[in-house]
Amino acid sequence: MSNRILCCVVICLFRVGLKDAVVTQFPRHRVLGTGKEITLQCSQDMSYVSMYWYRQDPGFGLWLIYYSTGIRTFEKGDVPQGYRVSRDELQSFPLTLESASANQTSVYLCASSEPQRSTAISSLHKKGANQGVRGPRPQDS
């Protein structure tokens, strides 16, 4: 009887493990001179349709830069100025800082998610969502 329980636990853990998604960003850390361009790579292994780029300024919450809902389909977020994106394949969503400036000293985060059941984007990812929690909007570059 104890063998059945052990087998069930192993199978359940194995099945959960298969659903774990991995989102990878590169480079992990980067110091860049003013006026320089850099592309941050983001890839995911689950072929999720939706991908997002955020920035977090020191002491503040997240700001949506761009989001994508499929290949060659992306929209501006709250702070798209000074950035560009592309999405030529489902697994990749690179973000380019066109000309680095001091006000772009931030933590950059990429995320991926499964499609929502409704056609509306979830409130977490909507432009302007939770604006009071995040602090002032970053200055244009």
78-125 confidence digits (pLDDT tens): 999 999 999 999 999 999 999 988 888 899 999 999 866 655 554 555
Assign 33 to helix, strand or coil. coil
Question: Mean of the pLDDT values across residues 34-44?
Answer: 93
Distance CA 43, CA 46 (A): 10
Q: Let me know: does 119 contact 55? Beta carbons within 8 Å.
A: no
pLDDT for 32: 81
Q: What is the pTM of this model?
A: 0.71
CATH of the domain at 114: 2.60.40.10
- DSSP E strand boundaries for the chain: 23-26, 38-44, 50-56, 62-70, 73-76, 83-85, 95-97, 107-113
Domain containing 58: what range?
21-134
Residue 63 inside a domain? The answer is yes
